[in-house]
Structure 1
Amino acid sequence: MRSLAFAHPEPQRPRSRIWPVFIPFAGCPGRCVFCAQHIQTGCAQTGLDRVLETVEADLTRAHELGRGPYELAFFGGTFTALPEGYPERFLALSDTFRKLGLITKTRCSTRPDRVTIPMLKELGARGLHMVELGVQSFDTTALDVSGRGYTADQVHRACDAVRAAGMELGIQLMPGLPGDHDDVFRQDVRETCAIGPDNTRLYPCLVLRGTELEQWWREGRYAPWDLERTRIELTCGVGELWAAGVPVIRMGVAPEEKLQPEIVAGPWHPALGQSVRARVLLEHVKARIAELGRAPRRLEVPFRHSGEIFGHARELVDEYARIGLDRESIRMVDRKRFSLC
């Protein structure tokens, strides 16, 4: 009986533990209509000197306890637009702990209109390894309506600048922005695949309390994606990104304790990433069945993917049954590859 072995569709990438440092709103030239970083990160806006002190104390403690190594990551603000001297101070602190073996790499998030090649080369010389650009979309209309303040051309120039500076590149997309129209997200995915970043994050747009977007939603001027559309769109998008070799390292905002009560509308789910990953895997299995050329009799799944195969709360059990794989014909094995027979 002919069998077909295949790998998981997700691109392989080095695993690292992230030590996040949140600097909400710091360096931002304004506030986008959807933005509530203090809610999204779970951290209140704090003076940068205080952030430096806290990070140094926490890293010192981690080193004393023999923890790590970690990749230090600055999120929540516009790192490259921090007041003069602060990017250098943060990177000097990172370098201190890199020499101690606690920190391996340093990354930051920033805006596409706040980077230049000379600036990035200087920061790279001080120890910055990766820049994640808060692109949100390559669609100029969506960017304009959302108050981002830059164009698609500036996004492309920023991606080129990061590469030209010799750094790793991350792209953050926000499906369902105000100004969204048919095919925007899918075109954003195609643009991202063409650029080929080292990773991407997908944050479906939410309506958070206290934002301008909340007012638009209440006035009927904005309608967020529902959860089912979000799952469908992300499944297609992640499948394309994985096929292009682009890892997706985050889907949806993290389930911070204070976040959920502040979401007034939008496609938030605590296991969105798990649900989407499982659906992409299901589509991959369907494609392999087509290659097999007949109805499947058994699917063998590596143990490491046993929690993913049926999705969140086993939501895909019936979907597998429809393609001829009921629960009795799917078994876990101590191997690295899947197998259909």
Structure 2
Amino acid sequence: MFCAQDVQTGLSACIDAAAPASVAPVLSASSLAGLLRRAHDNLKNRHALGQPPAELAFYGGTFTAMPLPEQTACLDLAQKALERGWIHSFRCSTRPDCVDAVVLDRLRAAGCGCVELGVQSFADDALVASKRGYDGATALRACAYVKEAGLTLGVQLLPGMPGHTPDDFLRDVPLALAAGADMLRFYPCLVLEGTALARMWRQGLYSPWGLKDTLDCLAQGWLLAQKARVPVIRMGLAPEASLDAALLAGPVDPALGSRVMGRALLLAVRQHLEQLAVASDADAPPVLQALCAPSSCQGYIWGMRGELRAAWANLGLPPDGLIFDPACGQTLRLTVTA
């Protein structure tokens, strides 16, 4: 409905990850054979150059819904590469309604280490509005299948899809974490030319989230994941010239991830100050006098072009109150006054 894999991946022939399982893939057998030959040669060359084993990934479609001959060809490549020490494992992406115990056992036997599920949301209303073809219970069951198979679970969420609200997203993240997600991806919904969603948008039947609301909502979701020690490994689609050309509307930003993380750190500190105020029964939150942050935060803590400096100042942080110190590890250290 809303997925255009050709413009997202830069390939003109690929499989539609958002399509129902009954939809035949548009990648021809000859195209697949060519891709697998190139992958084989690249892995062989890496090994010859002394590079360490890689992780092979089958992305850009509903892997487990591919016709069996094409799927078997992919698994054969993975098994041979694994036997020769070219890779240490492989991963794939698929839909929640296209996995079960038998399918996952086959993947694991071929060397699969991780399955990423394009859950998009666990909210039934949003799944119906987006014509996903499954419900939240199916998505949760798929997560359980992956974990029971002993595989690493990735969950991809699509905030802002038709019928989806910020409250839905802030329920989706805890549900994914509770289901055992080892990693998350946040892909804010975009309107791309050539999709059913583009037709809905032109008819006034769909409006994407605004960028500010998206940043604020994703910041809350990212913080929830960090508290659970689960990484968000991607926020937003990877830049592609074809994607830029096809984009009609939606919250796209080349600095999306860093802007989200900057807001999340600000939110974490604000919440901590509010908790201190409650604990001390004070009328107002304490004033932030100094903040020691890991060096890794240096690129985004102030926000894009300093957009968060005023918000930090409102918490009391003086211009010279921020210190970046590798000794902080991965934690923030606050100095506050009542």
TM-score interval for Structure 1 and Structure 2 normalised by the shorter chain = 0.7 to 0.9
Q: Distance in 2 between matches of 1:76 and 1:159?
A: 20
Give the aligned partner of residue 201 of structure 2: 217
Contact 2:143 2:180 in 1 (8 A): no
Question: How far does residue 99 in structure 1 lie from its aligned partner after superposition?
Answer: 4.0
> Residue 298 of structure 1 is aligned with which of 290, 312, 325?
290
Supply the RMSD in Å over aligned alpha carbons.
Answer: 1.9
Corresponding position of 2:9: 41
Contact 2:291 2:334 in 1 (8 A): yes
User: Aligned partners of 2:293 and 2:165: how far apart in 1?
Assistant: 38
TM-superposed CA distance for 1:68, in Å, is 4.0
User: CA shift at 1:290, angstroms?
Assistant: 4.7
Which residue is 1:340 aligned to?
334
Task: Determine the structure 1 residue equivalent to 2:321.
Answer: 329
Task: Tell which deviates more after alignment, 125-134 or 157-166.
Answer: 157-166
CA contact (8 A) 1:134 1:172 kept: yes
Is contact 1:172-1:202 (8 Å) kept?
yes
Following TM superposition, the consecutive aligned residue runs of length 4 or more in structure 1 with deviations greater than 6 angstroms are none
Q: 1:325 to 1:69 in 2, by over 3 A?
A: farther
After superposition, the Cα gap between the structure-2 partners of 1:76 and 1:339, relative to the gap in structure 1 and judged at 3 Å, is same
Which residue in 2 is equivalent to 1:117? Answer: 101
SS in 2 for 1:67: coil
Contact 2:8 2:240 in 1 (8 A): yes
Distance change (3 Å), C-alpha of 1:286 and 1:60: same
Find 1:203's aligned residue among 178, 187, 203: 187
2:147 paired residue among 148, 163, 168: 163
> How far apart, in 1, do the equivalents of 2:49 and 2:271 lie?
48
Q: TM-score, normalised by structure 1?
A: 0.85
- Residues 160 and 272 of structure 1: CA distance in aligned 2, closer, same or farther (over 3 Å): same
Consecutive unaligned residues in structure 2, runs of 5 or more: 14-26, 278-285
Which one is further off, 236-245 or 165-174?
A: 236-245
CA distance in 2, matches of 1:63, 1:312: 40
2:301 counterpart of 1:309: yes
Q: Deviations over 1:225-264 (max 9, x none)?
A: 0101101111112222222332211111111122112110
Structure 1 unaligned residues grouped into runs of 5+: 1-32
Q: Secondary structure at the match of 2:287?
A: coil
Counterpart code for 1:86: E
Asked if 1 retains the 8 angstrom alpha-carbon contact of 2:9 and 2:240, the reply is yes
For 1:214-293, list aligned pairs within 5 A. 214-290=198-274
Q: Which residue of 1 aligns with 2:44?
A: 60
2:245 alignment partner, SS class: helix
TM-score normalised by length of structure 2:
0.85
Deviations 1:305-336 (A, max 9, x none): 21122123332122111111133111222312
SS in 2 for 1:260: helix
Distance 1:255 1:211 in 2: 19
Q: Deviation per CA, 1:74-130, whole angstroms, max 9, x where unpaired?
A: 111111111113333323322333344442221100011111101211210110111
Q: Which amino acid in structure 1 is aligned with residue 35 of structure 2?
A: V
Q: How much identity, in percent, do the aligned residues show? A: 43
1:334/1:238 CA distance change after superposition, 3 Å: closer
- The whole-number CA distance in structure 1 between the counterparts of 2:85 and 2:301 is 37
Whether the 8 Å CA contact 2:222–2:264 is kept in 1: the answer is yes
Aligned residues of 1:196 and 1:244 also touching (Cα < 8 A): no
Which has a greater percent of helix?
A: 2
Query: Per chain length, whose mean CA-contact separation is higher, i.e. which structure has more relative contact order (CA < 8 Å, sep 6+)?
Result: 1
Whole-Å Cα distance in 1 between the matches of residues 213 and 117 of structure 2? Answer: 25
CA shift for structure 1 position 161? 1.1
When structure 1 is superposed on structure 2, of 178-187 and 284-293 the one drifting more is 284-293
Q: Does the 8 Å contact 1:107/1:132 carry over to 2?
A: yes
Alpha-carbon distance in 2 for matches of 1:216, 1:320: 40
Contact 1:88 1:126 in 2 (8 A): no
2-side partners of 1:68 and 1:133: how far apart?
Answer: 27
Q: Which amino acid aligns with 1:52?
A: L
Q: Matches of 2:166 and 2:191 in 1, distance apart?
A: 20
**Matched residue count:** 309
The structural deviation recorded for 1:63 is: 2.1
**Shift, 1:182, TM fit:** 6.2
Matches of 1:172 and 1:338 in 2, distance apart?
A: 28
On the 8 A contact 2:78/2:110 being kept in 1, the answer is no
Q: Which whole-Å CA distance do the structure 2 matches of 1:200 and 1:333 have between them? A: 28
- Structure 1, residues 125-173: CA drift from partner, whole Å, max 9, x if none? 1101111111111122221222211122211221111112111111111
After superposition, give the CA deviation of every residue in 1:257-292 in whole Å (9 maximum; x if it has no partner).
221121100001111111111111112222344566
